[in-house]
Amino acid sequence: MTPRGLAPGEPPSELFVIHRALVILFLVALAACGPRPKPMIIEEDAGIVMEVPDAGRQRGMDPPSGFSTAVELPADGGQRIGVSLAAVGDQFNQPLIAAVWDDPNGDGVRTDTRVFFTRWNGEKKEYEALKTIEVVGEIDLTPPLRQVAIGRDSVTGRIGIAFVKAGAGIRYAFSDDEGANFSLATVGMDPGTGDSSYPQIALKNGTTHIAYVTSNEQVLYRTRTGASGAFSEVTAPITAGQASAFGSISLALDGDGNPGLAYFTKGASLRGTLAFWRPGTASATEVTNSNTTDVLAVADRKPSVTLAFAGTTPRVAFHLLRADPVLNGMMTDSNSELWTSVATDAAGTSWSMPVGMPRNGDFQTMRFNTTQWYQGLVIHSGGAITIGGAFLSRGTINTLCSGGPKLSKSTNNGMTFETCSPMNTPLNFAGEWLSMWGHAANKVTLAFFYDRRASDLIRGGVILYREP
């Protein structure tokens, strides 16, 4: 073949020869390297290996161990970034984060309040720029209300975010390209006169599961398969002797992809019941109750719950005030209650007596560290369990486990626990809206919002603690 621009028989120039050699080398290298490899994802709950769509995303480096700041608060106090935080691990167990940026311009008018998304980028070794999901306006962000939830479908790779939008019901944002772009849909309008709250989300096998509490105190469970169409709707049943639902709820999928819901109901006396329900069944089961305690009497001790599954068997961790001086052989205290209970069957129709988390502190003076509102629950393979608690106050300053957050660990399937804070914690408190997941064998990552700009060794905002 005669190169373009040369007469027949005329030798090619030296530059042309070099250029042709470089092209050949490039093509050989490309053939040898092949396409960018897809990561193989191990699903811990099912014990299987599958290839997950990942838009070519690479693992890179994991976030740093110990404490780090994912999204830092501005130096002034005019705005809060990270309110109502929710976080989960991605296919590499690296953070996916959704939260509220409250009053972004700090002018006191909250019509511009918005939900944002970010995630750890292992190749760039940093968190990606904040992506606005939607402006949600003036929604109620009073703790312990959690108005944002995030989940990931381990089969399809879809990322889903459920959140409250003022006057517009529960909204759903989803991305099929690793968070580069999001589509928006309305899950449902609130049937009452206010806004719904406590949205929860779980995704598996292309089906999106969402649950939330309405302003007229119902728990609604809704589902949709695929990327379009209306969400189905089922009202969760109220347990016997109770009038309505309230407060924190938790939605999770078992190892077979089937949903479960844990939530609180109350009667006329305001005594609370923690209930568990399998959608598709007619009734909910009582896990435990507050005995004679008014669950709404103490504002900073409102109950909360986190649901998880060991295979197909449900387990809960929860804050709940009780009137019992002793329960299951453990002293209780009206200042703080953090418990766990496990179902004795996969249907969740029978539950064990709650086991209380030990409270570290000064046992000689009976001054104990306390937690409130938020907790995380991770069930590791082999029977180990980690329960995280958002640290509220200390009983004494000079203790080995002083500071927050609190981690209660069990190596015997949750029969007994030991509680401590992460060693060398720079935080006086654990912040709010705690999320937790496992990133390695018996190791957890915690994410929470920390509204402090001074006095600590780490700046406030969205804070992570990753066990080394």
- High-pLDDT (> 70) share of the chain, %: 80
* 441: in domain: yes
Domain carrying residue 64: 53-466
pLDDT value of residue 82: 95
pLDDT value of residue 382: 87
Place of tokens 């190749």: 123
With residue 110 as reference, give the H or E element that holds it: none
Average pLDDT over residues 9-34: 44
pLDDT value of residue 2: 42
Contact 465, 406 (CB under 8 A): no
Query: What is the length of the chain?
Result: 468
Tell me the pLDDT band of 456, cut-offs 50, 70 and 90.
low
Q: Comparing C-alpha atoms, which of 186, 252, 187 is closest to residue 220? A: 187
* 213: in domain: yes
Average pLDDT over residues 34-53: 38
CA torsion sign for 131, 205, 340, 197 is positive
Average pLDDT over residues 327-346: 70
Question: Strands of 355-356's sheet, edge to edge?
Answer: 304-310, 313-319, 338-342, 355-356
CATH code for the domain of 346: 2.120.10.70
* 17: in domain: no
Retrieve residue 139's tokens. 């929604």
Average pLDDT over residues 310-316: 97
Tell me the pLDDT band of 363, cut-offs 50, 70 and 90.
low
How do residues 74-120 score in pLDDT, each as one tens digit?
A: 877 667 899 999 999 999 999 999 999 999 988 889 999 999 999 99
217: left (phi over 0), alpha (psi -120 to 50) or beta: left
How do residues 385-402 score in pLDDT, each as one tens digit?
A: 999 998 766 554 556 677
- High-pLDDT (> 90) share of the chain, %: 60
How do residues 232-246 score in pLDDT, each as one tens digit?
A: 999 999 987 788 998
Whether the predicted pLDDT of 172 surpasses 50: yes
* 29: in domain: no
Average pLDDT over residues 436-456: 88
Instruction: Rounding to the nearest 10 degrees, give the CA dihedral for residues 91, 36, 227, 258.
Output: -30
What is the C-alpha separation between 163 and 146, in angstroms, rounded?
A: 9
Q: Model pTM?
A: 0.86
Whether the predicted pLDDT of 1 surpasses 80: no
Retrieve residue 64's tokens. 């740093």
pLDDT value of residue 367: 58
* 118: in domain: yes
Q: How many domains does one find in the chain?
A: 1
Whether the predicted pLDDT of 377 surpasses 50: yes
For all residues of the chain together, what is the average pLDDT? 84
Choose the weakest-confidence range: 18-32, 262-276, 304-318: 18-32
Going by the DSSP 8-state scheme, the letter that residue 453 receives in this structure is S
- The b/e string for 322-352 (b: 16+ C-beta within 10 A; e otherwise) is bebeebeeeebeebbbbbbbbbeebebeebb
pLDDT value of residue 136: 98
* 1: in domain: no
